[in-house]
């Protein structure tokens, strides 16, 4: 379904920037200041105070030159006795200047940290809202880069920004101060401003493509590294470490060259900007000497003006820092915006289901599911009609790519159909609130994820002090139902036993049973098992399904994506899918008799089951011989 705002709900602001580069840069800066108004008010105020005090220092130097230094050098004893006055004035100004700098830096740093936290939260929230189909089109390394390096790039411009805005105050005060001295000196001093603007315009044109390429390569390097880490077992077992190292080294070298290109552009730009204030000071001295010869100014005024230009060297450089960071900030911000503004998010409903402890009825009415591809939408389910009676166990069977996992994901609302409805007790799942939906339907997938946390937290997925967290008794009951309680009791610490990364200290079957316990502790009314017992012994699988509801609760409706004959035989009904369509449904015996496609699949499953049984028996015989 299209991502349409709910009636009466405010439309969230789009992050995507439009217009020219100048307009996008101004909007980016404006949004950052708007998001942290209090922080940047104080940062800019401190920076403005710094700018005004910097000009005051220059005027104080000029005053001290005319009132104390030159008269003292001429032998004025009164002036010689007042040197400490100038010292105290300069010391007071310097202390205030230092405090304003410290305040500006601390508050500006707080603003950047807040903006980064805000962006990362928005990105992560959007990751959780986007459907699985979107995630399958975006590599994990790319997503990590969006939440990390892209966010840092998008906010980097806000470090020097308060300083640069304070420079505006400084320039205004300096302009007024210099105009009161001499208009020609003022003109000489401010000649550098248009030159700085022109140089920065050229810099942005050169820097933008270089920064864009570097940011993209950072994401690609992250993606290669993530793949190598995730595929550690494959890499180690197949001896392809050298290939992975070469693949990563090639991508890292591309990033190195891109970063060198960025550095080269900066190497040309930075010295030129640094030299401009010095050239301005030299020009002020030349013009000041000419005006001094004409009797239009005093020596202290020329000294003060030249000194002011010297003081402006670093602050004016702040414009360069801001303009230098803007291309990178735009690239990072727009990469973040592509995630935050991505379409296809599943709009949540508000309806709830009537209270019931019994199993729920699941109905699919003309469900068609499509996913986007570069060649156009690909249809995964075609007009599927299906009823799952409450409390029944229904097995989905079909060849690879037949749509079994897609159908299971649609029931759980990990995907939305483009046409048709999925109903839980007669209510469209798109109209249900997240709490109502997840409290009714629970999915256990084949690719089990175990967090690096305790057994308790892995089962409850809640903080221990959460009042809604299941009790220890409920956790043990779920572990018993999943036939993994004995395993947990043998762990050092029981429920408090830490599990390794991805459950490294558990076997594949134990991880699957922990995941099943995680689902059962929520007492779902619909339990979807997407080949969730593939690593579990058939006897244990039978015991798990047989124990559903044995603790006094009601047995849930079970949708079982099955690949083993032992799993299929546990179902009350079998649904045969092929090409995203329901071919037939009925009991195992009925489908064997009338559905040739299903009979072929069942025969293949039986042969595979027999082969695995022979291998297991062979392993036992080999172990016995070794023991003898």
14 within a domain of the structure (yes/no)? no
Question: To which H or E segment does residue 80 belong?
Answer: helix 77-80
pLDDT at 513: 84
Helices (H), strands (E): how many in the chain?
25, 10
pLDDT the model gives residue 608: 64
Q: Does residue 480 fall inside a structural domain? A: no
- How many domains does one find in the chain? 2
In this prediction, residues 36-50 reach a mean pLDDT of: 82
Mapped onto helix, strand or coil, the DSSP state of residue 421 is strand
287 vs 618, residue with greater confidence: 287
Beta-sheet pairing, 526-530 with 378-388: unpaired
pLDDT tens digits along 180-232: 777 887 777 777 777 776 776 677 677 777 877 887 787 778 777 767 766 66
What is the distance between the alpha carbons of residues 475 and 453, in angstroms, rounded to a whole number?
A: 15
Question: Taking 50 as the threshold, does the pLDDT of residue 119 lie above it?
Answer: yes
CB neighbour burial string for 24-61, b if at least 16 within 10 angstroms, e if fewer: bbeebbeebbeebeebbebbbbbbbbbbbbbbbbbbbb
Residue 420 — very low, low, confident or very high, per pLDDT cuts 50/70/90? very high
From the number of C-beta atoms within 10 Å of its C-beta (0-12, 13-18, 19+), residue 194 rates as: exposed
User: Does residue 236 share a domain with residue 132?
Assistant: yes
Instruction: Using CA atoms of 476, 477, 483, 489 in order, give the dihedral in degrees to the nearest 10.
Output: 20
Distance CA 105, CA 448 (A): 47
Q: Give residue 161's domain range.
A: 21-340
What does the pLDDT average to over 618-623? 49
Is there a single domain that holds both residue 26 and residue 122?
Answer: yes
Within-domain flag for 122: yes
CA angle 413, 416, 421 (to 5 degrees): 90
Report if residue 247 sits inside a domain. Answer: yes
How far apart are the C-alpha atoms of 189 and 47, rounded to whole Å? 21
Q: Do 250 and 151 fall into the same domain?
A: yes
What percent of the chain is predicted at pLDDT more than 70? 80
User: Cα dist. 551→131, 444, 522, 523, 554 in Å?
Assistant: 35, 20, 13, 11, 9
Q: Exposure of 145 by Cβ count < 10 A (0-12 exposed, 13-18 middle, 19+ buried)?
A: buried
| pLDDT higher than 90, residue 499 | no
**Would you say 60 and 300 are in contact if contact means Cβ atoms under 8 Å apart?**
no
Per-residue pLDDT tens over the stretch 520-564 = 888 888 888 887 776 676 777 777 777 776 555 578 888 988 877
The residue length of the chain stands at 628
**Does position 496 have pLDDT exceeding 50, yes or no?**
yes
**Is position 312 within any domain?**
yes
**Gap between the Cα atoms of 415 and 346, Å rounded:** 8
Q: 618 or 69, which is more confident? A: 69
DSSP-assigned letter for residue 499: P
pLDDT at position 2 over 50:
no
Average pLDDT over residues 100-123: 84
Q: Are 453 and 499 in contact (CB under 8 A)?
A: yes
Overall average pLDDT of the 89-99 stretch: 73
CATH code of the domain in which 398 resides: 3.40.50.300
> pLDDT class for 292, splitting at 50, 70, 90?
confident
Residue 427 within any structural domain of the chain:
yes
Bridge partner residues of 378 (DSSP): 371
Q: Clarify whether residues 259 and 156 are in a common domain.
A: yes
- What number is the average pLDDT over the span 304-325? 68
Give the pLDDT of residue 618: 57
pTM: 0.65
Q: Average pLDDT of 454-479?
A: 80
pLDDT of residue 312: 63
- Give the three-state DSSP class for 173: helix
User: Last residue of a domain, which of 305, 340, 375?
Assistant: 340
Whether 209 and 132 map to the same domain: the answer is yes
* pLDDT score, position 628: 41
pLDDT tens-place string over residues 381-400: 899 999 998 888 898 988 88
**Pair 194, 63 in one domain:** yes
* pLDDT averaged over every residue in the chain: 78
pLDDT digits (tens, 9 = 90+) for 133-152: 677 777 777 777 788 878 88
∠ CA(324), CA(327), CA(333), 5° rounding?
A: 130
* 383 in the same domain as 336: no
Tokens for 126, please give them.
């959007």
Phi, psi of 573 (to 5 degrees): -150, 150
Give the residue, 610 or 6, on which the prediction is more confident.
Answer: 610
- In terms of domains, do 103 and 192 share one? yes
Residue 585's contacts (CB-CB under 8 Å, 6 or more residues apart) are 386, 573, 574, 575, 576, 591
The stretches of 463-595 forming alpha helices (DSSP H) are 472-481, 485-490, 508-520, 538-546, 565-568, 588-594
| Pair type for strands 557-561 and 526-530 | parallel
Helices (H), 412-471: 434-438, 455-460
Residue 365: pLDDT over 90:
yes
- Given a cut of 90, is residue 172 above it in pLDDT? no
What six digits make up the tokens of 529? 């098992």
Q: Which residue has the higher pLDDT, 433 or 103?
A: 433
**Which range is most confident: 6-15, 99-108, 309-318, 571-580?**
571-580
C-alpha closest to that of 47 among 169, 161, 166, 158: 166
Under DSSP, is residue 46 helix (H, G, I), strand (E, B) or coil?
helix
Q: pLDDT category, 368, cuts 50, 70, 90?
A: very high
With 0-12 / 13-18 / 19 or more C-beta atoms within 10 angstroms meaning exposed / middle / buried, residue 552 is exposed
Give the whole-angstrom CA distance, residue 562 versus residue 465: 38
The reported pLDDT for the residue numbered 576 is 92
Residues 423 and 544 in one domain: yes
- Give the per-residue pLDDT at 535: 66
* 312 and 442 assigned to the same domain: no
Question: What is the CATH classification number for the domain harbouring 284?
Answer: 1.20.1560.10
Q: Evaluate if residue 127 carries a pLDDT over 80.
A: yes
**Whether 291 and 408 share a structural domain:** no
Which of 258-262, 446-450, 508-512, 624-628 has the highest average model confidence (pLDDT)? 258-262
311 has pLDDT over 70: no
Q: pLDDT tens across 330-340, in order?
A: 888 888 888 88
Q: Is residue 607 part of a domain?
A: yes
State the helix-helix crossing angle for 21-35 and 83-129, rounded to 10 degrees.
Answer: 100
**Residue recorded with tokens 């897609």:** 406
d(CA 473, CA 351): 31
Do the strands 419-424 and 362-371 form a parallel or antiparallel pair, or are they unpaired?
Answer: antiparallel
Q: What pLDDT is stored for residue 320 in this prediction?
A: 66
Separation in Å, CA 167 to CA 308, 428, 627: 13, 59, 83
Question: CA-to-CA distance for 576 and 583, rounded, in angstroms?
Answer: 5
Residues 269 and 408 grouped into a single domain: no
Per mean pLDDT, which of 215-219, 232-236, 301-305 is the most reliable? 215-219
3-state secondary structure of 265: helix
- In this predicted structure, what is the pLDDT of residue 185? 77
Q: Is residue 353 part of a domain?
A: no
Mean pLDDT of 409-422: 88
């Amino acid at each position: 379904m299209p991502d349409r705002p709910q009636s009466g709900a405010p439309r969230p602001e789009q992050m995507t920037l439009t217009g020219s580069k100048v307009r996008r840069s101004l909007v980016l800066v404006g949004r950052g200041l708007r998001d942290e108004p209090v922080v940047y008010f104080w940062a800019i105020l401190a920076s403005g105070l710094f700018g005004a005090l910097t000009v005051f220092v220059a005027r104080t130097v000029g005053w001290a030159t005319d009132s104390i230094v030159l008269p003292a050098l001429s032998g004025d004893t009164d002036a010689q006795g007042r040197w400490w006055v100038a010292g105290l004035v300069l010391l007071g100004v310097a202390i205030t200047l230092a405090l304003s700098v410290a305040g500006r830096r601390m508050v500006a740093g707080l603003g950047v940290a807040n903006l980064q936290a805000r962006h990362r939260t928005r990105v992560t929230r959007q990751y959780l809202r986007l459907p699985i189909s979107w995630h399958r089109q975006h590599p994990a390394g790319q997503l990590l880069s969006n939440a990390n390096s892209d966010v840092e790039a998008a906010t980097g411009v806000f470090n020097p920004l308060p300083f640069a805005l304070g420079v505006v105050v400084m320039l205004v005060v300096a302009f007024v101060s210099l105009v009161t001295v001499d208009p020609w000196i003022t003109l000489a001093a401010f000649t550098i401003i248009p030159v700085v603007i022109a140089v920065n315009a050229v810099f942005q044109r050169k820097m933008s493509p270089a920064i864009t390429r570097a940011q993209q390569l950072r994401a690609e390097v992250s993606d290669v590294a993530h793949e190598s880490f995730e595929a550690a077992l494959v890499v180690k077992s197949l001896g392809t470490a050298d290939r992975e190292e070469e693949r990563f080294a090639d991508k890292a070298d591309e990033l190195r060259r891109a970063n060198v290109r960025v550095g080269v552009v900066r190497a040309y730009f930075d010295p030129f900007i640094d030299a401009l204030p010095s050239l301005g000071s030299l020009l002020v001295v030349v013009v000041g000497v000419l005006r001094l010869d004409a009797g239009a100014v005093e020596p202290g005024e020329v000294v003060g003006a030249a000194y002011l230009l010297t003081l402006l060297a670093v602050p004016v450089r702040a414009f360069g820092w801001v303009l230098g960071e803007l291309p990178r900030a735009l690239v990072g911000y727009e990469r973040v915006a592509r995630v935050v503004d991505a379409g296809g998010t599943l709009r949540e409903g508000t309806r709830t289901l009537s209270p019931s402890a019994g199993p729920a009825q699941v109905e699919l009415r003309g469900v068609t599911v499509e996913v986007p591809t570069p060649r156009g939408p690909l249809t995964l389910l075609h007009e599927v009609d299906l009823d799952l009676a409450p409390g029944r166990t229904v097995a989905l069977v079909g060849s690879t790519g037949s749509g079994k996992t897609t159908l299971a994901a649609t029931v759980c609302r990990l995907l939305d159909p483009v046409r048709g409805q999925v109903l839980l007790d007669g209510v469209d799942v798109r109209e249900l609130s997240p709490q109502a939906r997840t409290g009714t339907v629970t999915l256990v997938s084949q690719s089990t994820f175990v967090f690096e946390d305790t057994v308790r937290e892995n089962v409850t997925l809640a903080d221990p002090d959460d009042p809604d967290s299941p009790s220890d008794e409920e956790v043990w009951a779920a572990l018993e139902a999943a036939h993994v309680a004995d395993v947990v009791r043998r762990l050092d610490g029981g429920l408090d036993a830490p599990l390794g990364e991805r459950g490294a200290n558990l076997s594949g079957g134990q991880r699957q049973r922990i995941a099943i316990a995680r689902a059962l502790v929520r007492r779902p009314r619909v339990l979807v098992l997407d080949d969730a017992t593939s690593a579990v012994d058939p006897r244990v699988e039978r015991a798990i399904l047989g124990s559903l509801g044995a603790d006094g609760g009601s047995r849930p409706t079970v949708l079982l994506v099955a690949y083993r004959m032992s799993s299929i035989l546990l179902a009350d009904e079998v649904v045969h899918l092929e090409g995203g369509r329901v071919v037939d449904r009925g009991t195992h015996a009925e489908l064997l008799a009338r559905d040739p496609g299903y009979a072929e699949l069942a025969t293949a499953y039986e042969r595979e089951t027999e082969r695995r049984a022979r291998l297991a028996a062979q392993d036992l015989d080999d172990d016995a011989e070794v023991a003898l």
